[in-house]
Amino acid sequence: MEDLLQEFLLYLQVEKGLAKNTLLAYERDLKKLILFLQREKIKEFKDVDKNLLAGYLYFLRKNKEAPASIARQLASVRGFFKFLCMEEYVPIDPTVYLETPKLPQKLPQVLSEEEVDRLLAIPESLNPLILRDKAMLELIYATGMRVSELVNLTVQQINLDLGYVRCLGKGSKERIIPLGSKAAQSLQRYLEKSRPFLVKNPREDHLFLNHHGRGVSRQWFWKIIKKRANDVGINKEITPHTLRHSFATHLLSNGADLRSVQEMLGHTDVSTTQIYTHLTRNKLREIYLKTHPRA
């Protein structure tokens, strides 16, 4: 069973081009399934049926795993058995009739436009680290990039003359995102007055560097955002993804069409982007109740 798991992971890496973190998530999910099957004395995947997998989902619920975690693990199992069936390692796919747990729709946390202004209002400075932090914050809000996409940007992916960033998203899918003037100005200052002082190796092509001259990490940027939010008195639970959510919500609130926002976020399915329309509808209702004389 372990051999087939490794074959599946290689397929996802080579054929589907999935990122390392996604592959690790698949591996964790499916190793958990294999341990369950071994406890049930199952030695081959061809002996797995719908009832056994239903028992596995019950086992996960009994262990108090969150519905979102169970849904993700079931998606991993579905993908795996689809592969096994395609490669004729199993005669039928036992996941076909399994029901996916229903998840309550949780609206993402977003910042108001005023809160974003406060977060990004970093005083002018010649300090290379402050210039870098401001450029990163401006860029992630201006583009709605994922934090992993931001920290992995190279200098070659930025085109300030034409005003765009070439972003490599999930599965190495490329998309072009326009740059706003404020983000472009911050990037220009960073490239001219900060990065030359931070770079140690002339061949280092990461755009954003730490004080050792290497690319910054996601964890480090998470801390920067939390500290900055605390400094300006934003009491919401804020993460790098909060700025991605805010980017999408503010675009739609100000008249952008859903397909354009989908393209900029790099969502494969427009239904993923539609959650932000709920947020903008809630905002419209709030404005109506506050301003209509007979509301």
Each residue of 191-200: pLDDT tens digit? 999 999 999 9
- Identify the band that residue 128 occupies on the pLDDT scale cut at 50, 70 and 90: very high
166 φ, ψ (degrees, to nearest 5): -95, 110
Catalytic residue among 134, 244, 245, 250: 244
Report which of residues 248 and 276 the model is more confident about: 248
Q: Is 118 one of the catalytic residues?
A: no
Q: Are residues 256 and 122 in the same domain?
A: yes
Assess whether 149 and 210 both reside in one domain. Answer: yes
CATH number at residue 25: 1.10.150.130
Mean pLDDT of the chain: 88
Q: Catalytic pick from 146, 228, 245, 250?
A: 146
Is 93 among the domain residues? no
Q: Compute CA 46 distance to the chain's CA centroid, rounded to the nearest angstrom.
A: 35
Same domain flag for 268 and 155 = yes
250: annotated active-site residue: no
* Predicted structure pTM score: 0.65
> Does residue 174 share a domain with residue 250?
yes
For residue 244, indicate whether it is catalytic. Answer: yes
| Shared-domain flag, residues 30 and 76 | yes
CATH of the domain at 163: 1.10.443.10
Catalytic annotation present for 267: yes
Q: Which of 78, 218, 241, 283 is catalytic?
A: 241
d(CA 132, CA 125): 11
Whether residues 160 and 232 fall in one domain: yes
Give pLDDT, residue 182.
93
Residue 181 maps to a domain: yes
Q: If you count DSSP H runs as helices and E runs as strands, how many of each does the chain have, helices first?
A: 14, 3
99 in any annotated domain: no
Given 72, 78, 170, 193, which residue is catalytic?
Answer: 170
Same domain as 42, residue 186 = no
Q: How many domains does the chain have?
A: 2
Write down the pLDDT at residue 266: 84
Residues 221 and 272 in one domain: yes
Inside any domain, residue 147: yes
Q: Using alpha carbons only, give the angle 250, 131, 125 rounded to the nearest 5 degrees.
A: 110
| DSSP-based three-state secondary structure for 154 | strand
Query: Tell me, what's the pLDDT at 252?
Result: 85
Q: Same structural domain for residues 271 and 198?
A: yes
Question: What is the pLDDT averaged over residues 177-186?
Answer: 92
* Residue-wise DSSP of 261-282: HHHHHT-SSHHHHTHHHHHHHH
Domain that holds residue 28: 2-86
104 within a domain of the structure (yes/no): no
CA dihedral 283, 289, 290, 295 (to 10 degrees): 160
Percent of the chain with pLDDT over 90: 56
| pLDDT above 70 coverage of the chain, percent | 92
